[in-house]
Structure 1
Amino acid sequence: MAMYHLSLFFCSTLIVVWLVSSVDSIAVPSSNCYVIDNSSYIYDFTEWIGFPFEYSQKDSDLVVRFCKDVESRSQMGYVDFGRYEPSLYFIASSGSGNFVQEFHSGDLTNCELHSFDKMGRTAQVNIFCGRCSDRETCKEKRGCVCSVSYDGTMCRVLVELAISCGHRGSRVFEGFTVGFHPRSWEVVYNGMTQMGFEKPYHEFSFGTDQTIVSLYLTAISTLSNLVGKPSFEVNPSKGLEVKLSGSGAKGSPPTTLSPTILNVNWRCDKANSSPYEVVFTIPIDGYEPIKFSLTKTCEYDQERGSDATRGWATFGVLSCVFIVLASIFCCAGFVYKIRVEHQRGLDALPGITVLSACLEAVTGSELGYSRADTLNGSFVNSTSWDSLPVTEQATQRTGERKYGSM
């Protein structure tokens, strides 16, 4: 019985691990026809673009082409109430509905004096998932227009639309970005992995010589503590050495004012005909993890630059130690020489000569001291010096051997 429970626990653990490891990245949809609800779950309506929802009544004949435009039809022809505004996409509704679509830059005819900033007619479509606000059920499978109301003074139409929203997607960690600069988001924007980094692309690969890539992570400050420590997997598993460093690698909370840095240090240990893929996973408490891919080409094997640097550093330290020890021995010998000469009553000038030679040997340069014979030769009778002809004085100066600058 115990073995049965143990095997059951082992199997369930494997299932959980498989489910966690099989979570794909939340990639940005291929179109602008998507929306994130008030609970941060994403709905992708890419397949619905242009689908018509018609509304025919005595006082109105209107059609909403999903994520495209809104038009009113009459005997005078079509009246455009705006086109889908890409900059707004979908937004979650703050009223009784679920979502809101905005349409702008419609016809300007008869709206020159009323339309805001002469931008033409506009439309607002309030979307309900399931039934209309009056609980009426649509006969069509995808949905229907529940009601239409016009605002003549604002040249605006308000449409209530009920649709079958379908299955919601993953929960998005909104406000989270990953970019190659502190204020950019080429890799991840608003919690969704951007095109080019959701899977390997040869054209997005980094070159062999680029051994480090820095990524900057930002998040909303109130939610920054939910960001965990990143991890990575390399495919193929051997041939590319990858190490992470920086504040982002430690799991420090990123904010918009203080981004964290994730340094990716990678080196090609083995050349490969196809790029290496590095899949990064950043866990988010309560949300789907952030996943993105970076690829690197390895056209040749790279030497271990760290070993070469370490060798030069060791050589420099040993050289400094040798110079210090040589200086100590020379100074000790000089002090000993001076003390012995003082005890014997000898002249101290030979000690200076010893010190000069010692320091010249250590530093490799000549010092600004004259040699002993020059110092001794300086004690010349001033009368005989003055009595020498000018040419002989010049010859005497030239004959002196000075070292260093005076």
Structure 2
Amino acid sequence: MLASGTNALPLSDCYALDKGNFLYDFTDKLGRALELEEEGSDFVVRFCVDAQNRSNNGYINFGRFSPQSIFKNEKDDVDFIQEYKFGDLVLCEHLGSDLTGRVAEVRIICGTCPNGPACKDDFGCICNVTYTHNLCKAKVLAALDCSNQGSRIFPEFSMGLQQKGSEVVKNGITQKEYRKSFHSSGFESSQKSVSLYVTSTADFPGNLEKLDIQVQPSQGLVVSVVNRPVLGIISATDSTNLLEVNWKCEKISEQPYEVNIRIPIEGYDPIDFSLHKHCRDLDTEKGVESSSIKVLEVVPVIILVGVILLGITYKCKFEEQVEGREDTFQAAIEVPLV
């Protein structure tokens, strides 16, 4: 059974996937403080922002939130792992030439702290903090309210306009620029097709031949998709596959056409993304075809007129020749006999 939040996508980089690949969007909790509820401690995680120890003189920064490092945890007994990197460098230069500074690893449990009271804040709290490597790394265990389970994502799937870049779908999640009703960019009238590179790090439980296409407005743009994978199926062992979207403008429109494409995935929520196509003029091929038709219509008329003119010219010359012969014949008759 799919989650109740079908097709819901995260509104920011503040999200996570659980062990079952269900999405949790924490956008509304972005910046909320998770605090260690122990006397004499002042360690704070500003959720999806940074991690701080505010004790002593001022505070020590244990890193800023890194959106690329939200992981679902496959082996341990926690639900999510977040990483906060590039904190204060003082006494931490020995970690390497890259000078990464202090780091905080935040391990999150959905529910309450083990062997502890419930959090005072309904959002959650920090259960404990341990320090390693001369205080250059903090390991944080936090409890969080995870009641907002969303769509089930297939994170091993990605799709891009360029190979290994310009993602339309990244790790199973449609990127902001390609979500429905987002009109910041679009393909121009002169571009007749676009190639989408499709990759998967695991066998894809779907079939690309069964994708659904809806165009808004429904009239004026003809769209077809050619899929290169055999039988529409992609495998982790295959090389990069291609989907080619072809379109033809049949009606000029001031606003771009919205092409909504849905890829169904067995056992997961479908992948939805939108492309926008401008039709400021009709396709060149159609214009050439129309011009050819007009030429074919005009050619017989030109030939007919030419034949008539040729006939008139021939008649005039013939009459001139006949008149000339009659004059000569008359002159011959009038010559007196000797």
Letter in 1 for 2:187: F
Match of 1:177 among 140, 158, 169: 158
Distance 1:255 1:121, change over 3 A: closer
Q: Paired residue for 2:263?
A: 282
**Do residues 267 (structure 1) and 248 (structure 2) align?**
yes
Q: How far is the alpha carbon of 1:41 from its aligned partner? A: 1.0
Distance 1:135 1:73, change over 3 A: closer
**Do residues 89 (structure 1) and 70 (structure 2) align?**
yes
Q: Paired residue for 1:404?
A: none
Bigger share in strand: 2
**Do residues 219 (structure 1) and 200 (structure 2) align?**
yes
Is the contact between residue 26 and residue 290 of structure 1 (CA under 8 Å) also seen in structure 2?
no
- What is the CA–CA distance in structure 1 between the aligned matches of 2:101 and 2:28, rounded to whole Å? 28
Q: How far is the alpha carbon of 1:95 from its aligned partner? A: 1.6
Match of 2:122 among 134, 141, 154: 141
Distance 1:139 1:250, change over 3 A: same
**Do residues 161 (structure 1) and 148 (structure 2) align?**
no
Match of 2:233 among 252, 260, 272: 252
Q: How far is the alpha carbon of 1:235 from its aligned partner? A: 1.3
Letter in 2 for 1:84: F
1:76-118 Cα deviation digits (max 9, x unpaired):
33222222233313543632211112222223334445x4555
Distance 1:24 1:125, change over 3 A: closer
1:309-363 Cα deviation digits (max 9, x unpaired):
xx9xxxxxxxxxxxxxxxxxxxxxxxxxxxxxxxxxxxxxxxxxxxxxxxxxxxx
- What is the CA–CA distance in structure 1 between the aligned matches of 2:195 and 2:170, rounded to whole Å? 17
Q: How far is the alpha carbon of 1:165 from its aligned partner? A: 1.4
Q: How far is the alpha carbon of 1:74 from its aligned partner? A: 2.8
Q: Paired residue for 1:119?
A: 100
Residues 4-403 of structure 1 correspond to what in structure 2 (within 5 A)? 25=7, 27=9, 29-55=10-36, 57-58=38-39, 60-92=41-73, 94-113=75-94, 115=95, 118-134=99-115, 136-151=117-132, 153=134, 155-220=136-201, 222-229=202-209, 230-247=211-228, 251-253=232-234, 255=236, 257-302=238-283
Letter in 1 for 2:125: C
Relative contact order, higher structure (CA 8 A, sep 6+)? 2
Distance 1:75 1:92, change over 3 A: same
Letter in 2 for 1:187: V
Bigger share in helix: 1
Letter in 2 for 1:206: F
Is the contact between residue 217 and residue 248 of structure 1 (CA under 8 Å) also seen in structure 2?
no
**Which residues of structure 1 form unaligned runs of 5+?**
1-18, 312-406
Is the contact between residue 279 and residue 291 of structure 1 (CA under 8 Å) also seen in structure 2?
yes
- What is the CA–CA distance in structure 2 between the aligned matches of 1:78 and 1:172, rounded to whole Å? 38
- What is the CA–CA distance in structure 2 between the aligned matches of 1:186 and 1:112, rounded to whole Å? 35
Distance 1:131 1:238, change over 3 A: same
Rg larger in structure: 1
Q: What is the percentage of aligned positions where both structures have the same residue?
A: 38
Q: What SS does the aligned partner of 2:36 have?
A: strand
Is the contact between residue 222 and residue 250 of structure 2 (CA under 8 Å) also seen in structure 1?
yes
Q: What SS does the aligned partner of 1:196 have?
A: helix
Letter in 2 for 1:63: V
Q: What SS does the aligned partner of 2:152 have?
A: coil
Distance 1:251 1:152, change over 3 A: closer
**Which residues of structure 2 form unaligned runs of 5+?**
293-338
Distance 1:298 1:161, change over 3 A: same
Aligned length: 288
Distance 1:95 1:252, change over 3 A: closer
Q: What SS does the aligned partner of 1:100 have?
A: strand
Is the contact between residue 206 and residue 233 of structure 2 (CA under 8 Å) also seen in structure 1?
no
